[in-house]
Amino acid sequence: MNARLDFYGNATAAKFARYINSAGKVIGDSTLPAATQELVKIRASQINGCGFCTDMHTKDAAHAGETSVRLNLVAAWREATVFTDAERAALELTEEGTRIADAAGGVPDAVWANAAEHFDQDQLAALVGLVALINTYNRMNVLAATPAGSYTPGQWG
Protein backbone atom coordinates (compact mmCIF):
# COMPACT_ATOMS: atom_id res chain seq x y z
CA MET A 1 0.00 0.00 0.00
CA ASN A 2 1.39 3.38 -1.01
CA ALA A 3 0.31 6.88 -0.08
CA ARG A 4 -1.47 8.89 -2.75
CA LEU A 5 0.98 11.74 -2.23
CA ASP A 6 4.60 11.74 -1.08
CA PHE A 7 4.84 14.75 1.22
CA TYR A 8 8.62 14.83 0.86
CA GLY A 9 8.88 13.89 -2.83
CA ASN A 10 6.66 16.71 -4.07
CA ALA A 11 8.10 20.23 -3.84
CA THR A 12 4.85 21.94 -2.83
CA ALA A 13 3.92 19.25 -0.31
CA ALA A 14 7.43 19.25 1.15
CA LYS A 15 7.41 23.02 1.58
CA PHE A 16 4.04 22.88 3.32
CA ALA A 17 5.20 20.02 5.56
CA ARG A 18 8.30 22.01 6.60
CA TYR A 19 6.11 24.91 7.75
CA ILE A 20 3.78 22.60 9.64
CA ASN A 21 6.74 20.85 11.27
CA SER A 22 8.09 24.24 12.40
CA ALA A 23 4.80 24.91 14.17
CA GLY A 24 5.15 21.53 15.86
CA LYS A 25 8.56 22.51 17.22
CA VAL A 26 7.05 25.56 18.94
CA ILE A 27 4.57 23.33 20.73
CA GLY A 28 7.15 20.62 21.48
CA ASP A 29 9.38 23.25 23.09
CA SER A 30 6.54 24.61 25.24
CA THR A 31 5.91 23.81 28.91
CA LEU A 32 2.88 21.67 28.05
CA PRO A 33 3.93 18.26 29.47
CA ALA A 34 5.26 15.88 26.82
CA ALA A 35 3.02 13.03 28.02
CA THR A 36 -0.03 15.26 27.67
CA GLN A 37 1.08 16.25 24.17
CA GLU A 38 1.24 12.62 23.08
CA LEU A 39 -2.14 11.78 24.63
CA VAL A 40 -3.71 14.70 22.76
CA LYS A 41 -2.13 13.60 19.47
CA ILE A 42 -3.31 10.04 19.96
CA ARG A 43 -6.89 10.98 20.87
CA ALA A 44 -7.38 13.39 17.98
CA SER A 45 -5.86 10.84 15.60
CA GLN A 46 -8.23 8.16 16.84
CA ILE A 47 -11.25 10.42 16.37
CA ASN A 48 -10.13 11.38 12.87
CA GLY A 49 -9.37 7.80 11.85
CA CYS A 50 -5.76 8.61 11.02
CA GLY A 51 -3.97 5.28 11.22
CA PHE A 52 -0.59 6.78 10.38
CA CYS A 53 -0.70 9.37 13.19
CA THR A 54 -2.19 6.90 15.68
CA ASP A 55 0.65 4.48 14.90
CA MET A 56 3.29 7.19 15.15
CA HIS A 57 2.15 8.77 18.39
CA THR A 58 1.40 5.56 20.27
CA LYS A 59 4.88 4.32 19.34
CA ASP A 60 6.50 7.65 20.28
CA ALA A 61 4.65 7.67 23.61
CA ALA A 62 5.66 4.07 24.39
CA HIS A 63 9.24 4.87 23.43
CA ALA A 64 9.16 7.82 25.88
CA GLY A 65 8.01 5.49 28.67
CA GLU A 66 4.23 5.68 28.48
CA THR A 67 2.55 2.53 29.77
CA SER A 68 0.55 0.19 27.58
CA VAL A 69 -2.37 0.45 30.01
CA ARG A 70 -2.66 4.20 29.49
CA LEU A 71 -2.13 3.93 25.74
CA ASN A 72 -4.82 1.28 25.48
CA LEU A 73 -7.28 3.41 27.45
CA VAL A 74 -6.90 6.73 25.61
CA ALA A 75 -10.06 6.10 23.57
CA ALA A 76 -11.97 5.38 26.79
CA TRP A 77 -10.35 8.06 28.95
CA ARG A 78 -13.65 9.15 30.52
CA GLU A 79 -14.08 5.74 32.18
CA ALA A 80 -10.38 5.18 32.91
CA THR A 81 -8.77 5.93 36.26
CA VAL A 82 -5.20 6.11 34.93
CA PHE A 83 -5.20 9.75 33.78
CA THR A 84 -4.60 12.84 35.89
CA ASP A 85 -7.24 15.56 36.13
CA ALA A 86 -5.04 17.78 33.92
CA GLU A 87 -4.72 15.04 31.28
CA ARG A 88 -8.47 14.47 31.38
CA ALA A 89 -9.06 18.21 30.86
CA ALA A 90 -6.66 18.18 27.89
CA LEU A 91 -8.35 15.12 26.39
CA GLU A 92 -11.77 16.72 26.82
CA LEU A 93 -10.61 19.91 25.10
CA THR A 94 -9.04 17.79 22.36
CA GLU A 95 -12.29 15.95 21.71
CA GLU A 96 -14.37 19.13 21.66
CA GLY A 97 -11.84 20.92 19.44
CA THR A 98 -11.55 17.98 17.07
CA ARG A 99 -15.29 17.45 16.79
CA ILE A 100 -15.97 21.14 16.38
CA ALA A 101 -18.30 20.61 13.41
CA ASP A 102 -20.49 18.35 15.56
CA ALA A 103 -21.11 20.97 18.25
CA ALA A 104 -23.23 23.99 17.51
CA GLY A 105 -21.54 26.88 19.22
CA GLY A 106 -18.06 25.34 19.30
CA VAL A 107 -16.18 24.34 22.44
CA PRO A 108 -18.34 24.81 25.57
CA ASP A 109 -17.19 27.38 28.14
CA ALA A 110 -17.19 24.68 30.84
CA VAL A 111 -14.67 22.61 28.86
CA TRP A 112 -12.40 25.63 28.46
CA ALA A 113 -12.76 26.55 32.14
CA ASN A 114 -11.81 23.02 33.17
CA ALA A 115 -8.66 23.16 31.04
CA ALA A 116 -7.83 26.62 32.43
CA GLU A 117 -7.89 25.19 35.96
CA HIS A 118 -4.99 22.89 35.06
CA PHE A 119 -2.90 24.83 32.54
CA ASP A 120 -1.43 28.34 32.50
CA GLN A 121 -1.94 30.68 29.54
CA ASP A 122 1.20 29.53 27.71
CA GLN A 123 0.22 25.89 28.14
CA LEU A 124 -3.33 26.65 26.97
CA ALA A 125 -1.89 28.38 23.91
CA ALA A 126 0.26 25.31 23.24
CA LEU A 127 -2.74 23.02 23.78
CA VAL A 128 -4.91 24.98 21.34
CA GLY A 129 -2.07 25.01 18.82
CA LEU A 130 -1.50 21.29 19.30
CA VAL A 131 -5.15 20.38 18.74
CA ALA A 132 -5.16 22.49 15.57
CA LEU A 133 -1.84 21.03 14.43
CA ILE A 134 -2.62 17.35 14.97
CA ASN A 135 -5.94 17.83 13.19
CA THR A 136 -3.99 19.28 10.26
CA TYR A 137 -1.59 16.33 10.23
CA ASN A 138 -4.52 13.91 10.48
CA ARG A 139 -6.24 15.48 7.52
CA MET A 140 -3.06 15.49 5.42
CA ASN A 141 -2.46 11.79 6.08
CA VAL A 142 -6.09 10.71 5.69
CA LEU A 143 -6.42 12.62 2.40
CA ALA A 144 -3.17 11.09 1.12
CA ALA A 145 -4.09 7.61 2.45
CA THR A 146 -0.72 7.35 4.18
CA PRO A 147 -0.38 3.73 5.32
CA ALA A 148 0.12 2.91 9.00
CA GLY A 149 2.30 0.41 10.77
CA SER A 150 5.84 1.03 9.60
CA TYR A 151 6.75 4.07 11.69
CA THR A 152 9.83 3.75 13.91
CA PRO A 153 10.23 6.19 16.85
CA GLY A 154 12.72 8.90 16.03
CA GLN A 155 12.81 8.22 12.31
CA TRP A 156 12.36 11.93 11.58
CA GLY A 157 14.74 13.29 14.17
Domain map (residue ranges) of the chain: 31-144
* H helix intervals, the chain: 11-28, 34-48, 51-63, 68-73, 85-98, 109-118, 121-144
pLDDT confidence of 103, banded at 50, 70, 90?
confident
pLDDT confidence of 104, banded at 50, 70, 90?
confident
**Does pLDDT of 157 surpass 70?**
no
pLDDT tens digits, 34-86: 999 999 999 999 999 999 999 999 999 999 999 999 999 999 999 999 999 99
Read off the DSSP letter of residue 99. Answer: T
Domain 31-144 has CATH 1.20.1290.10: yes
pTM, rounded to two decimals = 0.95
